[in-house]
Amino acid sequence: MTSPKTSAGAGFCAACGAALSASARFCHRCGTPAGQGAPIMRAGAPGAAPSGAASVLPWGVAFVALLALVAMVAGRNFGAAKGSGVDGSANSLPTSEIDGAGGAAPPFAGGAPGGAAAPNIADLSPSERANRLYSRIMTYAEAGAVDSVAFFSPMAMASHEMLDNPTADERYHFGRIAEVSNNVDVAKAQADTILQGQADHLLGLVLAARAARMTSNESAARAFDARLLKALTAQLATQNEEYLQHRAEIDRAVADAQRK
């Protein structure tokens, strides 16, 4: 006896394989109009066709849509501007802006002006290697490329740790690398060592104030600011080469101290 809802000749949806009643105009599962395409008969019925392909069709469509979405997101990421804080893989590569013409310099050697080939890292002295790494990381930090700062900082810090009898300038470099890579202990230690050697050294005072602010110790930071302002005129009069090299940073620290 024929079921009141499904006749003996009732078929299946050509799109999803759901059983259709004899009077159905649309598939109750996927909405495909009944009779559109060749109907798929129930397996085992006379003249029934294999329904495996039809049963997996909706999943195939969903998979293709997922692939399209992934491709769209990937395309946007690959199109991100170099130097941003999110394109880590791009920032780990040499760039013409940082490494010189053509971006052909070794990843941590820095670039040579005028398009000249960068020197072999093995030919540099320990101090030169440390200085190049410092310059590269500061360039990335100023560009907001936090991913590249994190990538190169361990190498730069290890390079500074290997220096014999580092100068106050090299200790300042070490401390600044520690600051931008969020290593407050190293930043504070380098500032303390500079100031132990010379209590009014401008770079030591600048770094000490920065280290204090890393721990939100504003009272200590303001004390270092006050010492910086007090020592500024006499120290600049010495024409210390370290001050000349970092004059822009000293001027910024002074301006910030005067505003507070």
Inside any domain, residue 89: no
At residue 210 the predicted structure's pLDDT band, cuts being 50, 70 and 90, is: very high
Whether the pTM exceeds 0.85: the reply is no
Domain-ending residue, one of 22, 54, 78: 78
The model's pLDDT over 40-88, given as tens digits with 9 standing for 90+, comes to: 444 444 444 444 544 545 555 565 565 555 555 444 444 444 444 444 4
159-178: buried (b, 16+ CB within 10 Å) or exposed (e) per residue? bbeebeebebbbbbbbbbbb
Q: Which domain holds residue 74?
A: 1-78
What does the pLDDT read at residue 140? 94
Q: Is the pLDDT of residue 15 over 90?
A: no
Whether 19 is covered by a domain: the verdict is yes
Identify whether 123 is part of a domain.
no
Domain assignment present for 38? yes
Residue 133, domain member (yes or no): no
Task: Identify whether 33 is part of a domain.
Answer: yes
Q: Is residue 107 a contact partner of residue 94, using CB atoms and an 8 Å limit?
A: yes
CATH of residue 223 = 1.25.40
Q: Are 144 and 180 a contacting pair, CB within 8 Å?
A: no
Q: What would you report as the CA-atom Rg of the chain, rounded to the nearest whole angstrom?
A: 34
What's the token pair of residue 57?
Answer: 């069709």
What is the distance between the alpha carbons of residues 245 and 105, in angstroms, rounded to a whole number?
24
Please, what is the average pLDDT of the chain? 75
Has residue 42 been placed in a domain?
A: yes
- Dist. CA 91–CA 84, nearest whole Å: 8
pLDDT tens sequence across 83-110: 444 444 444 444 544 444 333 334 433 3
pLDDT in tens, 118-145: 556 667 899 999 999 999 999 999 999 9
Answer whether residue 245 shows pLDDT above 80: yes
Query: How many separate domains does the chain show?
Result: 2
Instruction: Place 227 in a pLDDT band, splitting at 50, 70 and 90.
Output: very high
- Indicate whether 25 belongs to any domain: yes
Q: Which of 78, 113, 139 lies at the terminal end of a domain, its last residue?
A: 78
pLDDT tens across 155-205, in order? 999 999 999 999 999 999 999 999 999 999 999 999 999 999 999 999 999
What type of residue is 91? N
SS3 content of the chain, % helix, strand, coil (to 5): 60, 5, 40
Which of 78, 109, 133 lies at the terminal end of a domain, its last residue?
78
